[in-house]
């Protein structure tokens, strides 16, 4: 069964460093998302991406964050200069809108980011 894959599963970085989290969505999907979950808290929407551009972003997704789909298969989240409060589990998700789509997002296993 096709699945969303994410790398790395865990990354430890120093504050101020750049981090890139990678995702390979399901191949025929057209909408892509990043969510994050700070330890013990709810899953929060960061950004949605469709047709090679951001379609919506939350207030969390400030200028330190960016996303791109560089090669038609990978979908990346970059944090330019990490802060302690960026420590969280980051989930990638995708979906394929269509007449049979029921709105389900398919989530990856997550990338845990620890900022020291």
Partner 1 sequence: AQSVTQPDIHITVSEGASLELRCNYSYGATPYLFWYVQSPGQGLQLLLKYFSGDTLVQGIKGFEAEFKRSQSSFNLRKPSVHWSDAAEYFCAVGAPRNDYKLSFGAGTTVTVRA
Do residues 23 and 32 lie in contact, with contact meaning Cβ atoms separated by under 8 Å? Answer: yes
Cβ proximity to partner 1, 14 vs 100, nearer residue:
100
Least Å distance between CB 114 and partner 1?
13
Q: Measure the CA–CA gap between 103 and 96, rounded to whole angstroms.
A: 8
Q: Residue 91 interacts with partner 1 (CB under 8 A)?
A: yes
Residues 22-81 that bind partner 1 (CB under 8 A): 31, 33, 35, 41-45, 48, 50, 55-56
Residues in the chain: 116
Q: Where are the beta strands (DSSP E) in the chain?
A: 5-7, 10-13, 19-24, 31-37, 43-50, 53-57, 65-68, 75-79, 88-95, 106-107, 111-115
Do residues 59 and 47 lie in contact, with contact meaning Cβ atoms separated by under 8 Å? Answer: no
Total residues in contact with partner 1, by rule CB under 8 A: 25
CA distances from 2 to 7, 27, 60, 102 (A): 16, 8, 30, 17
Residues 3-22 that bind partner 1 (CB under 8 A): none
Query: Which of 18-26, 67-75, 76-84, 88-96 is the region at the interface with partner 1 (rule: CB under 8 A)?
Result: 88-96
Query: Which of 18-26, 70-78, 79-87, 93-101 is the region at the interface with partner 1 (rule: CB under 8 A)?
Result: 93-101
Contacting residues toward partner 1, per CB under 8 A: 31, 33, 35, 41-45, 48, 50, 55-56, 91, 93, 95, 97, 101-105, 107-110
């Amino acid at each position: 069964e096709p699945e969303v894959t994410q790398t790395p599963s865990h990354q430890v970085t120093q504050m101020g460093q750049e981090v890139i989290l990678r995702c390979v969505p399901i191949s025929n999907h057209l909408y892509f998302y990043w969510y994050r979950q700070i330890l013990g808290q709810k899953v929060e929407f960061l950004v949605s991406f469709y047709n090679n551009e951001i379609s919506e972003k939350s207030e969390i997704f400030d200028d330190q964050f960016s996303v791109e789909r560089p090669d038609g298969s990978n979908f990346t989240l970059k944090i330019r200069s990490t802060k302690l409060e960026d420590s969280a589990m980051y989930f990638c998700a995708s979906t394929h809108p269509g007449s049979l789509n029921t709105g389900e997002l398919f989530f990856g296993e997550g990338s845990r980011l620890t900022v020291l």
